[in-house]
Amino acid sequence: MKLLSAREMKDIDKRATSEYGIPSLLLMENAGIRTVEIIEKMLERTQGKKVLIISGKGNNGGDGLVIARHLMNAGAYVDTFLLTREDEMTVDSHTNYNILSKMKGNILPLYGEKDLDKLMLSLLSCDLIVDALYGIGFKGTLSDFDSRIVKMINWSKKPVAAVDIPSGVEADTGRVNGEAVKATHTISFALPKIGLILRPGKDYVGSLSVADISIPRSLLKDDSLKNNLINESMVKTFINKRDPESHKGTYGHTLIVGGSAGMSGAVIMTAAAALRCGAGLVTAAVPESLLPIVESCLTEVISAPLAQNIAGTIAMEALPQIESLLGKASVCALGPGMSGYSDALALIHFILQKSGVPVVIDADGLNALQGNLDILKNRQVPLILTPHPGEMARLTGQSINEIQNNRLEIARGFAQSWGVTLVLKGNNTVIASSTGEIYININGNPGMATAGSGDVLCGIISSLISQGLKPLPAALAGVFLHGLAGDQAAAIKGQRGLIAGDIIDYLPDILKAFEI
């Protein structure tokens, strides 16, 4: 599903009018009608109920005036508070103001301190509040007066229907700078806005509905729209039932290169996840001293001992063996448990030059790239990078706060600059393609913030590539499946006690549901 920025939504509205001849007034009417349909479900019975509507000066406020009219016709008592004067209204809003005035709607000014008492009385007696104060064009911080209004709305604890987006939430980022309306239900028009699914904005949305206001479908699927939501229907297109005539070779060979003294668990988790996700063969190539540990933990995995140095990390003498292993692999996962050491960069460079298959770089493989991104150039194979915010900060030279405050654009810019698929992990993991597409994942939970969770994700993505998916679909499906398995594990075991191995344990059940 596509996600829209405020500018994209406004452009779509304009195109619907200029290219298809759909009057903007009709779009406003449809937005109001769709919202009333949700409100009627929230109220269960509209007749005799009291609704308070707060409308601003933009088209979002015009939507509120349409809603007032239709609720009146449905038998509700409606108080419509206006934060704008007639001469400040948009043309379409003013048209609906005139209609509501002629219907003798109860329109009340909300301009200053003296009007707040009436608002308080209406809040105390109403059954539901409609937030049509600000629309998707809002950025920054509410004025002191508007902040007081929002505080009163939230204090009332009454059900709130937000029109398109809760007031105070930025549509492009989900940022909340100060006060914002805590909605019970948000009705977004045409497509969801980015800020509705990113935190903290997501926490103000309540239930989310997406309403059809008659925007032509072709406009909502335009290739220029680059932001997407990963959902189940998308992932189902990537997971196919297995052919009865298949064999282990059909599902590829995942090679994992990593491990170091004291860090064998990372490779083990990656390998186990790759197996559980369906790879036909998995080889764990680790420093030779780790071989007994790997073999005792993973009986189904092929183990390959690599020459090691005195520190227990992979030595340069292992390069010819790694090249041989790459010749038999469908994908290479590089970095889990590898540790930071002086030869790590040379190892990565060698694999990028010699590999004929996609490479997934994770963990210490990413840390070795710090200040050395030029080795990503002139490679012959697709590349997936899977940093968490700290690793992304080291890769880009920016602070973690800068990364977290602009996740989408930083991920997009990096992926395009270096021609990679980037998986920026964290709450609402972001996947960026080399062509500028952004995909946002919204499942998963805080219990997954535990050691080894990233290794599991690396194994899942690598496994899906070995089974035939291209890197971008593998990243999309991998992140979604990883989050679903984590959610299922947390539902049974709770978030606090969840460990990375639980995510692996629940993968088969998740995959089974997708194969039906």
Residue 516 scores a pLDDT above 80: no
Token pair, residue 314, equals 């992979």
- pLDDT at res. 99: 98
Look at residue 118 and tell me whether its pLDDT is greater than 90: yes
d(C-alpha 318, C-alpha 306), whole Å: 5
Q: Is residue 486 packed enough to be buried (19+ CB in 10 Å), middle (13-18) or exposed (0-12)?
A: buried
Say yes or no: 6 and 101 in one domain.
yes
What's the CA gap between 57 and 80, in Å, rounded? 13
Structural domain range at position 39: 2-222
Would you say residue 243 lies in a domain?
no
In this structure, the answer to whether residues 206 and 332 fall within a common structural domain is no
Residue 356 lies in a domain: yes
Whether 415 is covered by a domain: the verdict is no
Q: Are 166 and 97 contained in the same domain?
A: yes
> Do residues 149 and 293 share a domain?
no
**What pLDDT shows up at residue 451?**
96
**Mean pLDDT computed over 108-129:** 96
Instruction: Flag whether 403 is in a domain.
Output: no
Has residue 442 been placed in a domain? no
Per-residue pLDDT of 159-176, as tens digits, reads 999 999 999 999 999 999
In this prediction, residues 82-102 reach a mean pLDDT of 95
Q: Which amino acid is at 39?
A: I
Q: Closest by alpha carbon to 237, among 472, 508, 484? A: 472
Residues with Cβ < 8 Å from 311, sequence gap 6 or more? 260, 261, 339, 341
Q: Are residues 147 and 264 in the same domain?
A: no
Domain membership flag for residue 436: no
* pLDDT classification of 342: cutoffs 50, 70, 90: confident
Which contiguous run of DSSP H or E holds residue 222? Answer: none
pLDDT score at 380: 86
How far is 199 from 470, CA to CA, in rounded Å?
30
Which of the listed residues 207, 222, 237 is the one where a domain comes to its end?
222
Decide if 228 contacts 476 (C-beta within 8 A): no
What is the model's pLDDT at position 157? 97
Residue 55's pLDDT is what?
A: 97
Reference 515, options 241, 235, 126, 169; nearest CA is 241
Q: Residue 393 pLDDT more than 90?
A: yes
Residue-wise pLDDT for 32-80, tens only, equals 999 999 999 999 999 999 999 999 989 999 999 999 999 999 999 999 9
Same domain for 188 and 42, yes or no, is yes
Q: Which of 176, 203, 222 is the last residue of a domain?
A: 222
Asked whether the predicted pLDDT for residue 449 surpasses 90, the reply is yes
**CATH number for the domain that contains residue 336:** 3.40.1190.20
pLDDT for residue 338:
94
Q: Which residues, 6 or more positions from 37, have their beta carbon under 8 angstroms from its beta carbon? A: none
pLDDT digits (tens, 9 = 90+) for 464-503: 999 999 999 999 999 999 999 999 999 999 999 999 999 9
304 in the same domain as 218: no
Mean pLDDT (the chain) is 96
Residue 284 has pLDDT above 80, yes or no: yes
The residue among 284, 289, 285 whose CA lies nearest residue 301 is 284
What pLDDT is attached to residue 473? 98
Cis preceding linkage at 471, omega within 30: no
Q: What is the DSSP code string of 292-358?
A: HHHHHH-TTSEEEEE-B-TTSSB-GGGHHHHHHHHTT-SEEEE-TT----TTHHHHHHHHHHH-SS-
Which of 174, 207, 222 marks a domain boundary? 222
pLDDT for 515 equals 81
28 and 117 part of one domain: yes
DSSP states of 310-325: TTSSB-GGGHHHHHHH
Q: Check residue 240 and give its pLDDT.
A: 86
Q: Is residue 432 part of a domain?
A: no
337 with 372, same domain? Answer: yes
| CB half-sphere exposure, 462, CA atoms < 13 A | 40
Give pLDDT tens digits for 199-237.
Answer: 999 999 999 999 999 999 999 999 999 999 999 999 999
Could you tell me the CATH number of the domain that includes residue 50?
A: 3.40.50.10260
Q: Is residue 414 part of a domain?
A: no
The reply to whether 30 and 147 lie within a common domain is: yes
pLDDT at residue 66 in the model: 98
Instruction: Give yes or no: residues 183 and 269 share one domain.
Output: no
3-state SS, residue 422:
strand
218 and 290 in one domain? Answer: no
What pLDDT sits at residue 431? 98
Q: How many domains does the chain have?
A: 2
Under the banding of pLDDT at 50, 70 and 90, the label for residue 241 is confident
So what's the pLDDT on residue 355? Answer: 96
